[in-house]
Chain A
Amino acid sequence: MQTGLEEQLGLYQKRIPIVTRSVKGRFRRFKTAVLVLAYAIFFLLPWLPWHRLDAPSQAVLFDLPARHFLIFGLTVYPQDVVWLALLLFIAAILLFFVTGLVGRAFCGYFCFQTVWTDFFIWIEARLQGERPARIRLIRQPWDREKILKVGGTHVLWVLASFWTALSFVLYFGYAPDLLVRFFQGEAAAAAYLTVSILTVLTYAAAGLMREQVCTYVCPYGRFQSAMYEPPTLAVHYDVRRGEGAHGRASARAGLRTLGARHAQGHGDCVDCNLCVQVCPAGIDIRDGLQYKCISCGLCIDACNTIMDSFNFPRGLIRYDSEANLALAAPDKPRLHWKRLNIIGYGIALVLMTGYLGYSIVTRSSFDRAVTQIRQPLYVVLSNGDIRNRYQIRLTNKSGRDMRYQIDATGLPVGALDLGNFRQLSIKTGHSALVQASVRLSPEWAARTSTFNLSITPLDLPGERRIEAIRFDKPGGQK
């Protein structure tokens, strides 16, 4: 019988703040390099000029009002949405491929959540000091020092979030002009809305929520577990080497050399806890592979630093595979790519990337859609002739004004009537709608069920496109 006096179990576990220690090493250098490169691209790309005759001179511009994306020399129209779909497929397969090989490499090094959190922690460390100083600050009452340091950190975070949001918006308008209008209060409402939402989201995700995003919010982190296999390389703690027969032990007197440790049955782990202190997810990698681990490699750096200082061999925590660690005598860790699914992902990647490239390189300079008018499907004319009508929509994607000619083959002379538009000029990025009709005598109609319609850009005759078009008549298709 419960008395109701026991302690209440909360439905929501309060977050234990994770205060990470800075660390130096290979993985830290790699992460910093990725961060600098990613920020350089993200923040500077909107400012990169690109000479264009008839559109804003911005290298990457997602011009929504004009309904095209300008990406360096490429103009993408809404009709090319299949490229976006393909790009997303490629990204998904690339994630599968990489995760199957080396685990959550995306999470650890490239995900914007990781990158921005890293940057926010860097700001925090610059203002508030190293881990011990920050922990002291947390415990300290709200005095002048704490208000200045913590307040300053949050102000910088908000500024960084704001500039992140603003940079994102700058991709959707001509940056130099949009920036000025934004601060003059003359930009579109959508710009202000986007900037405020993204500022709040960036501040909350990178400043406040951090690893909780990876643990509770992000679906990708979770489903990547499904791609881990025994040969997958991941950040592992070598339990046998670290624990020995009698477990880990601190490097107290008499336990400072490997020989002495092994003689007493202790492993190589000196239990310095540094791997836990540097972990941005706040986990202990020595508990084994776990879902919170974003595989950033900082614990490897931390452990190697300690191993070096004791003159122990490196790699107590290292990139290794479960299969290799299970061996009696583990080999040197290496990439196991000769697996059915990895090769399958690889082939899919090559094929899809190849097709995307091919599709972009051989893109047509115009789009066409020929639709038969179905109300009515055909009409009998006064002399008994049969007429079908069609609507032809042409979109000029060539980047300059063009003239197009429309012809039909497999029809008697004069059967195709285009009104005034056998040839028509279309401005770049614009569409034209043309009504066409085909008139056949009953005899011709009887033996015609399709004919060929060709559309030729007069300046680029090589891009002529021919399409088989249906012709309907009384009695239906035979």
Chain B
Amino acid sequence: MSEQKLQSQTVQTTGHAWDGDLQEYNNPLPVWWVYSFYACVVFALVYWIIYPSWPVGKSFLSGMSNVTYVNDKGETVSHHWNTRAVFMADMNRAAAEQKPYFDKVSAMSYQAIAKDPEMNGFILSAGKALFADNCAACHQAGGQGVPGFFPNLTDDDWLYGGSFETIHTTVVGGRRAYMPAFGEVLSATEIDQLANYVASLSAIGHDAAKAQAGNALFHSDTAACFYCHGADAKGRREIGAPNLTDKIWLWADVPKVDGAAAKVVAIRNVINGGLNKGVMPAWGERLSPEQIKVLTVYVHELGGGQ
């Protein structure tokens, strides 16, 4: 039925004929479309009143909507609506919600924080975010570090000490580790002997005769390794000299290479070239005391602390 109706009816034209018979159809827009269009016009008018809109000379209509926020310098700023101001206001709000927790952090001792389940949960989530923003670039997202460059924070070996206090000192002041290059002081044979001795300390396959010679050299004034690494080769935390007797390797990537000979070579390379890249920047100026405290507890928990 409706099809018949369609055929019997035709479309209106504008009523004007060009060149004798050229006419233009007059297809009105659907009603719903027209009303939607009017609604959009009304929406736009309201929008212009509320939000920044038209350019006027070198300026523009800023709209009636205002956003108030506290900027980085602590000044209260009121600004016409814009996404940056809204973002700042959002950040202010979030900071206000976080504040009670940070206040608690600064009021509590490290031990008390670690024992409080609620604060512990806060440390795990806030610490993770702070760590990701500031520390993960070197120490990696999970704190696992990069062999040869950045120490692993999840193991139980602490170059400068793993107590809350020493971690705090490390974060605030940064660290700089240095080992001289022995390639110019010692002969290749001597360095090989030392490398074998260091390998023997960690029970890696080595040449016993060379290791024995290396042992003497280690404790002699010629090489003077014991000055920093200690007579027992267990390192000295005051200067960040690593323990050579444990299973953890930072600078010489011993676990990655296969075969005893290759492992000794890896150690030899470090003795030969020395190290000047154990640098951690100081965060005391960049982070607030509460943030550093949160990070301290977080890092302490990463590796189990000491």
Contacts and interface: CB of A to CB of B under 8 A. Distances in A.
A379 B25 CA distance: 78
A384 B255 CA distance: 11
B100 to A, nearest CB: 16
Interface stretch (A246-254, A330-338, A416-424): A416-424
Contacts of A426: 117
Contacts of B26: 4
Interface in B11-52: 11-13, 15, 23, 25-26, 28, 30-32
Interface residues of A, number: 37
A424 B142 CA distance: 25
Nearest to B29: A11
A259 interface: no
A433 B120 contact: yes
A375 B9 contact: no
Interface of A is mostly: loop
Contacts of B144: 375-376, 379
Contact of A382 (B32, B117, B121, B247): B247
Contact of A433 (B10, B124, B157): B124
A432 interface: yes
B140 interface: yes
Interface in B113-137: 114-115, 117-118, 120-121, 124-125
B31 A4 contact: no
B243 A435 contact: no
Residue among A375, A417, A431 with most chain B CB within 10 A: A375
B5 interface: yes
Given A420-B115, A424-B117, A433-B121, A381 B30 contact: no
Interface in B134-173: 140-144, 152, 154-157
Given A4-B23, A424-B117, A435-B124, A380 B248 contact: yes
Contact of B304 (A5, A391, A417, A474): A417
Nearest to B145: A376
Contacts of A382: 155-157, 243, 246-248
A380 B304 contact: no
A374 interface: yes
Given A12-B32, A379-B154, A432-B117, A384 B247 contact: yes
Contact of A12 (B31, B124, B140, B248): B31
A437 B304 contact: yes
A308 interface: no
A391 B124 contact: yes
B6 interface: yes
Residue among A8, A379, A384, A426 with most chain B CB within 10 A: A379
Contacts of B6: 9
Nearest to B33: A11
Contacts of A5: 12
A302 B301 CA distance: 78
Nearest to A373: B142
Interface string B266-306: 00000000000000000000000000000000000100100
A4 B11 contact: yes
B154 A389 contact: yes
A140 interface: no
A37 to B, nearest CB: 37
Residue among A4, A11, A420 with most chain B CB within 10 A: A4
Interface in A388-411: 389, 391
Contacts of A6: 8-10, 12
Contacts of A421: 117, 120
Given A382-B243, A382-B247, A431 B142 contact: no
A14 to B, nearest CB: 9
B114 A12 contact: no
A431 B9 contact: no
Contact of A375 (B11, B13, B15, B140): B140
A425 interface: yes
A435 B304 CA distance: 10
A9 B140 CA distance: 70
Interface string A420-448: 11001110000111110100000000000
Contact of B114 (A391, A419, A431): A419
A376 B142 contact: yes
A379 B152 contact: yes
Residue among B114, B125, B154, B243 with most chain A CB within 10 A: B154
User: Which 8 A-B residue pairs are closest in the complex by CB-CB distance?
Assistant: A375-B142, A382-B246, A2-B10, A4-B13, A376-B144, A433-B121, A384-B247, A420-B115
Interface of B: 5-6, 8-13, 15, 23, 25-26, 28, 30-32, 114-115, 117-118, 120-121, 124-125, 140-144, 152, 154-157, 243, 246-248, 255, 301, 304
21 contacts: A4-B10, A4-B13, A4-B23, A5-B12, A6-B9, A6-B12, A375-B143, A376-B142, A376-B144, A379-B144, A379-B152, A380-B247, A384-B247, A420-B120, A426-B117, A431-B121, A432-B118, A433-B124, A433-B125, A435-B120, A435-B301
Given A12-B30, A434-B120, 19 more contacts: A4-B15, A4-B26, A6-B10, A12-B32, A375-B141, A375-B142, A375-B144, A382-B243, A382-B247, A391-B124, A417-B304, A419-B114, A420-B114, A421-B117, A421-B120, A426-B117, A432-B120, A432-B121, A433-B124
Interface of A: 2-9, 11-12, 373-376, 379-384, 387, 389, 391, 417, 419-421, 424-426, 431-435, 437, 474
